[in-house]
Amino acid sequence: MDKFTTLTGVAAPLNMINVDTDKIIPKNYLKTIKRTGLGTALFAEMRYDEGGRENPDFVLNKGPFRNATILVSGENFGCGSSREHAPWALLDFGIRCVIAPSYADIFFGNCFKNGILPMILPEPRVNELLRFLLELPGAEITVDLPAQTVTGPDGKADAFEIDAFRKHCLINGLDDIGLTLQKEAAIKAYETTAATSRPWV
């Protein structure tokens, strides 16, 4: 998992509430267990028409937002089914941070496990950021995870809260496998001892 320390990038405004995981990635894309290649399916039902052509009105199909690394959206982001493909699709598109007033619990946890920072800011500030981004396409936001601050296009810096362990994992690029591998020496020592003391196993 890639480390997350600071991020400055174009932020895309998705001015919607209750963006469920079926909107993030429709169910017909869930047949794969690969984490790559899903970026083209991100928000597919809003992004493309029935013929597979891009919808020019959808935010991620517009000029500067094609390279967005931050997504700003409304409350209850990631609700619906618990599919891990949702953060996979966001990450494969290039989104490393989502900013919203609230999230569905399972989606929130899945983001951290995949190197995405799901940041919570008060709804009035999120609405303010959405207005800036709609008025100034291509405007950037800066996220400083070690300092736990986010600076909007207006230059205003806001503090945000994050669980200390999840912060540690993001900064050090540790997913569940990475955390386990930190104990690799102890695991090997146990296996060696177990093989010697119980050779019949």
Query: What is the CATH number for 144?
Result: 3.20.19.10
Residue pair 160/121 in contact by the 8 Å Cβ criterion: yes
Note down the domain range covering 169.
Answer: 6-175
Element (H, E) at 141: strand 140-144
What pLDDT is stored for residue 201 in this prediction? 67
Residue 200 inside a domain? The answer is no
pLDDT tens digit sequence for 169-193 = 999 999 777 666 666 677 676 676 7
pLDDT tens digit sequence for 53-101 = 999 999 999 999 999 999 999 999 999 988 899 999 999 999 999 999 9
Residue 184 inside a domain? The answer is no
Residue pair 100/72 in contact by the 8 Å Cβ criterion: yes
How far apart are the C-alpha atoms of 195 and 50, rounded to whole Å? 59
| Angle 68-167-6 from CA coordinates, rounded to 5° | 40
Residue 188 inside a domain? The answer is no
The domain tally of the chain equals: 1
Residue 57 inside a domain? The answer is yes
Residue 136 has pLDDT above 80, yes or no: yes
Element (H, E) at 70: strand 70-73
Average pLDDT, the chain: 93
Residue 62 inside a domain? The answer is yes
Residue 150 inside a domain? The answer is yes
